[in-house]
Amino acid sequence: MGDLDLTTAADLGAQSVRSNAEVVIKVRGLRTQFGDVVIHDNLDLDLMRGEILGVVGGSGTGKSVLMRAIIGLKRPSAGSVKVFGEDFYALNEAGRLEVERRWGVLFQGGALFSSLTVAQNVMAPIREHLQMPDALARDIAAMKISMSGLPPEAGDKYPSELSGGMRKRAGLARALALDPDIVFLDEPTAGLDPIGAAAFDELIVNLKTSLGLTVFMITHDLDSLYAASDRVAVLAEKRVIEVGPLTEVTRSDHPWIRSYFTGPRGRAARKTTAR
């Protein structure tokens, strides 16, 4: 277990971890393309341990593609993705698996396996990766489901029987199954009603502080950004044009950022969080 000498997030518990800003994911010179269409060019981005990084950008700027490039679903045509200091795309099968166990991903629609119940969905990664007696896997799954804010009765429901918000929570429970250090969220609040969205933001902040998670959150939702994110990265012109705490980013005079944050919705969101 020599490659595991980094302190795991859970070890850090509720401690504030902003002080020692260790970079867990370092993207340098990333270039992704589909055929001749270049999505990102020379993109740099750092994800610090223990932060919630909100990633914003207009439709089609490749937010999801960036996430897919980092988690190994879309091979970049140039540049490097370093996860916990290791070049992800240079790792062998076993090394990748080791890294993949340390992150969880919540896809936009939840991406639950439709033939399994919620509890079986959460148990799936536990069963596959840790040779574990069924009873223990059940206990752990029940805990993750409860932590994600679902009632116990949701356990034996199939994904088709759940509402959108519950599906996202179940997806989050599955993403958390292996106690990951990093969680990727692709538009976690899209399609939720404002109350559900606010509750989800709160849940994420809660889990982050109590489990010491690092969160990479793609979002369109300004309220989410204000409520949850520690730093914001803005994607435009095929790269990250601005990254930093929300207050700094809103001061940028890039035209897209200005219209994003000072548009009617941006102002409204800022007002509510300023209280």
Partner 1 sequence: MTAAFRIDLDGQTLRMNAEGDWRARFLAAIDHDVRLFEEDSVGRELVIDLSRVTRLDTAGALVLQRVMSACASRTEASKFVGASEAHQALMERVAPHLAPCPVEPARGDPFIQMLDRLGRGAADAYFTALKILNFIGLVLVTGARVFTDPKRLRMTSIVRHMEDAGLDAVPIVATMCFLVGAVVAYMGAKSLEMFGAEIFVVELVALAVLREFGVLLSAILLAGRSGSAFTAQIGSMKIREEVDALRVLGLDPIEILVLPRTIALVLVLPVLAFIGAMTGLLGGILVSWGALDISPALFLARMKETVVMSNFWAGIIKAPFFAFIISVVGCFQGMAVRGSAESLGQRTTLSVVQSLFLVIFIDSFFAMFYLEIDF
Cβ nearer to partner 1, comparing 11 with 237: 11
**Does 132 engage in binding with partner 1 (CB under 8 A)?**
yes
Applying the rule CB under 8 A, the residues between 232 and 271 that interact with partner 1 are none
Position 274 contacts partner 1 (CB under 8 A): no
Q: What sections of the chain are H helices per DSSP?
A: 9-12, 63-70, 93-100, 118-129, 134-147, 164-175, 194-211, 222-228, 246-250, 255-262, 264-274
141: contact with partner 1 by CB under 8 A: yes
Which is nearer to partner 1, 93 or 153 (by Cβ)? Answer: 153
The residue assigned the tokens 């990951």 is: 180
Question: Which of 48, 111, 124, 147 lies at the binding interface for partner 1 (CB under 8 A)?
Answer: 147
179-238 residues in contact with partner 1 (CB under 8 A) are 179, 210-211
Q: Which of 24, 112, 126, 240 lies at the binding interface for partner 1 (CB under 8 A)?
A: 126
Q: Which residues in 81-100 contact partner 1 (CB under 8 A)?
A: none
Residue 53 and residue 215 in contact, taking contact as beta carbons nearer than 8 Å: yes
Q: Which three-class secondary structure state does DSSP give residue 40?
A: strand
Largest Cα–Cα separation, the chain: 56
Of the two residues 57 and 212, which places its CB atom closer to partner 1 in the complex? 212
Three-state SS at 157: coil
Give SS3 for 132.
Answer: coil
Shortest spacing between CB 95 and partner 1, in angstroms: 16
